[in-house]
Amino acid sequence: MSVTVRIPTALRKITADQDRVSADGGSLSECIDALETSYPGLKERLCDESGEIRRFVNVYVNGEDVRFLQGLVTPLKDGDEVSIVPAVAGGGWA
CATH of the domain at 55: 3.10.20.30
pTM of the predicted protein model: 0.88
3-state helix/strand/coil string of 74-86: CECCCCCEEEEEE
Q: Does any domain span residue 71?
A: yes
Domain residues for the domain of 20 are 2-86
Summarize pLDDT for 15-24 with one digit per residue, the tens.
999 999 999 9
CA distances from 43 to 38, 57, 78, 90 (A): 11, 11, 21, 25
Q: Does any domain span residue 6?
A: yes
Q: Does any domain span residue 93?
A: no
Q: Does any domain span residue 91?
A: no
Summarize pLDDT for 30-81 with one digit per residue, the tens.
999 999 999 999 999 999 999 999 989 999 999 999 999 999 999 999 999 9
Q: Are 42 and 87 in contact (CB under 8 A)?
A: no
Number of domains in the chain: 1
Q: Does any domain span residue 72?
A: yes
